A and B are shown apart, each in its own frame.
Chain A
Amino acid sequence: MWVAAALLVVVVGSVAFNFLTPWWFGEVASNWGSIDDTVLLTFWVCGVVFILVGLLLVFSVYKYRFRQGARAQYEPENTRLELWLTVGTTLGVVAMLGPGLFVWDEFIRVPADATEMEVFGEQWRWRYRLPGTDGKLGTTDIGNISTRNPFGLNDDDPNGLDDVLIQSAEIHIPVNVPVKALLRSKDVLHDFFVPQFRAKMDLVPGMVTYFWFTPTKLGEFEILCAEYCGSSHYLMRGVVHVDRPKEYELWLQSQPTYAEMIAGSRPSSRDITTGRNVAETNGCLACHSLDGSQVVGPTWQGLWGRSERLVDGSVVTVDEAYVRESIINPSVKIVDGFAPVMLSYDLPESDIQALLAFVRSTEGGVAGTDRIPECKDC
């Protein structure tokens, strides 16, 4: 008796939960509201099946509970009933699959007027490349990647020179303009996912994948990496700003093109921007934060001149020699509380000089572009 009651509570409770839940899709911010519609349709079809099966179960458990001397019905088969159930189920499946495939067809058909945007992923950060004034992205090759050329553009491809390079994890896009996101990875699988856009796709090294969407709502949306990519996968976040056309143009003007970047970054230059580029290209900032939070390695905020306690108990002051050694041979001196996971970097002297300049500049703290969602110490 109370077994049937408990099962009934589970069935009714599940249905009630579905209607009362505060946990649900955030408001859709792209043209993919049609995905939400197919989800709701599926909920109705599946909900009806769940309720019917659940209630039949509860009813049987209650009505046909064991009674001494009672006999069950003996009916091994009922072909008609089985046939009807098969037909009914098939219809339900078609009702869900049809609209689903229809929307999928839209999803994979990129509109001709979509603007291209490249999303470039690496452990564990996002970067972006826009086609520039010619509207064409230059061709790339992973083998070209260097400090000077962080995206691996082919220098002999003129289309690449005006490409706009965004080295931060924040990207702006104009509202109501269809975007074709071309996805490229430098190392492992990642996945570009903005929950409010509903769409996502993996980045796969060795190939360029894509999907498209039209942002329909102004605002800031968090980008999540949705394909496991190693220890700091959960920190691989970014921000997409959906702007009015005017604001977007303003933002776009202030971003450097590839041509400007190579002109400004002669290898001998000691300036801080180059150092930052070196740090970004080599993935240093994936493990070292600039805003004081402790990630995989010690933060660079206020690093220069700081006293660090090492695992063996000794204390060192952070100076040029120490930083240099920590780059070339990081396992020699390990700061207390960190695992010896950093690889040694065999960088040209010019890069090391630039890095030193950059690290030195972080003395007072630099406004970081890396968003660290949570401080573990507080």
Chain B
Amino acid sequence: MSETEVPYQETMGLHHPRSWITRYWFSQDHKVIAVQYGVTAIAVGLVALVLSGLMRIQIGFPGLLPFITPDIYYQAVTMHGMIMVIFLLTAFLLGAFGNFCVPLMLGARDMVFPFVNMLSYHVYLLSVVVLMASYFVPGGPTGAGWTLYPPQAILPGTPGVDWGIVTMLLSLIIFVVAFTMGGLNYLTTILQARTRGMTLMRMPLTVWGIMMATILGLFAFPALFVSAVMMLLDKLVGTSFFMPAIVSFGQPLEHSGGSPLLFQHLFWFFGHPEVYIVALPVFGVVSELISVHSRKNIFGYRMMVWALIAIGALSFVVWAHHMYVAGMHPYFGFFFATTTLIIAVPTAIKVYNWVLTLWKANIKLTIPMLFALAFILTFVVGGLSGLFLGNVIIDVPLSDTYFVVAHFHMVMGVAPILVIFGGIYHWYPKLTGRLLNNTLGHLHFWVTFLGTYAIYYPMHYLGFMGVPRRYYAMGVGSDFYPESAATLNEFITIAALVVGLMQFVFVYNLIASYFRGKPAGSNPWDATTLEWQTPKTPPNHGNWGDTLPVVHRWAYDYSVPGEEQDFVPQNVERKP
């Protein structure tokens, strides 16, 4: 868009709320929708957290809670994994951060389709309700594992085979609908509603990350959608997409000719990009946090953008690294190991650039900064352990062991969660006008960072011993599970419970600071991006005053030589 053209949003009408219900429930204001997404995602996230506590108790102290039977355990594994990946991380990063940041950072009044945006949240809410309903249907939720591999997902011998799997698949189908509505909206807004002067290469990296993640999602989620529909047909109508001839518990089944591997290809064609749908917004947000709080421009902005694009594109040609030992043609191993390790290069560049941003900076150790630092260390460990698993031959002994559990928790569980926390501490003041309590913040940070590191770093080594994942009980004393491994698992469980409890302190902080937090002012971190330049804090509906801000510079003018302050907001004109 040229600098003289009148942006579309200058002329668009806003749907101002007329009553309480349109203000807080069916609101079309992107900030309210962001909060709705955020609160719902945190709520289901707490459910998943409690489930992980139960699983950890069973692993560390088998039999301590007698009600945790194998079925209950496997249902917990499945629901925990699915909630965390889809209903917490994806929903929070795009639904909450995406909604909040995109219009504000671009100087827009709202999303371009506010009504669709409102609808998107409610469809997401429906998917969450259907998912949670799994716990109330006969037989309970499915215990098929979050990967839902057929034939086992729809055959006897797996919990929730009658109803649970159906509610799970329906919930996913509904989620994809919600995501598509949200995603089209973010993408169109980013492409069409940037304010005057906001060229693509001036956008904050947060917006870049969200945009790339949205594009990935729009290509990847359809694969999940069709595989869910096909499995539903196999389950309910008796088709055989994924079902070969089978004798199940002595009974020959009607199915024949289908391919279980087909499902795995479809699932991971979605599932691998999904990892980056989570990771790319996180990369963006953490770049923001590091730059703002270290008072220095992000190092190598253009390289960061190109790395995001490269990672996004490559993420579609690596999916079968999840299937090295799944029985596919062995030659695929050469191809997918190569592509997978190539992705490591742009990813490593991002890590270098974050650390180089800290070099010769002026680092303020605020809570968001602490979370960003913790992210870097955690992500480095998770990324490096990914180089083990990606290198096909090393995956042979390690796949489906606790090495994998440790790897993906570090890289796509804990690392994104740390950035989500950092982002919340960072933007909460803009959202509410108040700062979160700093003492509780420090407590939350140290326990969460050191705790999760203590959980997952040693866990890699259980994988080397061969301890398989998704085991309800190990049987102490065998070669692969000596006494010392049981002790390590006790330690991990205790750490996990402490970390889990600490999250409730965080939730308390979120609520209490809303009423009693220190007033923040409009720009507490002295940041340059547009969301901190709104005339009001919290910003009102429509975000800006009579005119939209005009952008004159990139997003990272920190410590510019010759300037009086150590930051220059994007909407400040350049000196002649």
| Interface residue ranges, A against B (CB under 8 Å) | 3, 6-7, 10-11, 14, 17, 21-26, 32, 35, 38-39, 42, 45-46, 49-50, 53-54, 56-57, 60-61, 64-67, 70-78, 81-82, 85-86, 89-90, 93, 96-97, 100-101, 103-105, 107-108, 122-124, 141-143, 145, 183, 186-189, 191, 193, 195-196, 198-207, 209, 221-222, 224-234, 237, 281-283, 296, 339, 343, 345, 373-374, 376
Contact = CB atoms under 8 A, between A and B. Distances in A.
Nearest to A237: B475
Contact of A10 (B251, B341, B377, B400): B377
A145 B348 CA distance: 53
Interface of B: 62-63, 69-71, 74, 143-145, 149, 151-152, 155-159, 244-252, 257-261, 294-297, 299-303, 325-327, 330-331, 333-334, 337-338, 341-342, 344-345, 348-349, 351-353, 355-356, 358-365, 370, 373, 376-377, 380-381, 384-385, 387-388, 391-394, 396-397, 399-401, 446, 450, 453, 457-458, 461-462, 464-466, 468, 470-476, 478-480, 484-485, 488, 556, 558-561, 566
B260 A205 contact: yes
A100 B297 contact: no
B559 A373 contact: no
Nearest to B461: A23
A122 B377 CA distance: 43
A13 to B, nearest CB: 9
Given A200-B396, A374-B473, A23 B327 contact: no
Contact of A89 (B260, B331, B345, B364): B345
A75 B361 CA distance: 10
Contacts of A283: 249-250
Nearest to A27: B479
Nearest to B478: A222
B355 A71 contact: no
12 contacts: A60-B359, A71-B362, A77-B299, A81-B356, A97-B337, A100-B337, A187-B152, A195-B480, A206-B245, A206-B258, A237-B475, A376-B473
A66 B252 contact: no
B558 A373 contact: no
B362 A42 contact: no
Contact of B560 (A74, A193, A237): A74
Contact of B392 (A61, A101, A206, A296): A101
Contacts of A70: 362
A101 B324 CA distance: 13
A105 B297 CA distance: 46
B381 A123 contact: no
A206 B244 contact: yes
B192 to A, nearest CB: 28
Contacts of A228: 74, 144-145, 149, 152, 470
B491 to A, nearest CB: 12
B393 A35 contact: yes
A141 B244 CA distance: 12
Nearest to A204: B327
The winner among A23, A74, A143 for most chain B CB atoms within 10 A is A23
A53 B380 contact: yes
Contact of B381 (A50, A66, A76, A82): A50
A123 B157 contact: yes
B294 A72 contact: yes
A216 to B, nearest CB: 16
A198 to B, nearest CB: 4
Contacts of B473: 234, 373-374, 376
Nearest to B344: A93
A350 to B, nearest CB: 15
Contacts of A14: 381, 457
Contact of A107 (B352, B393, B488): B393
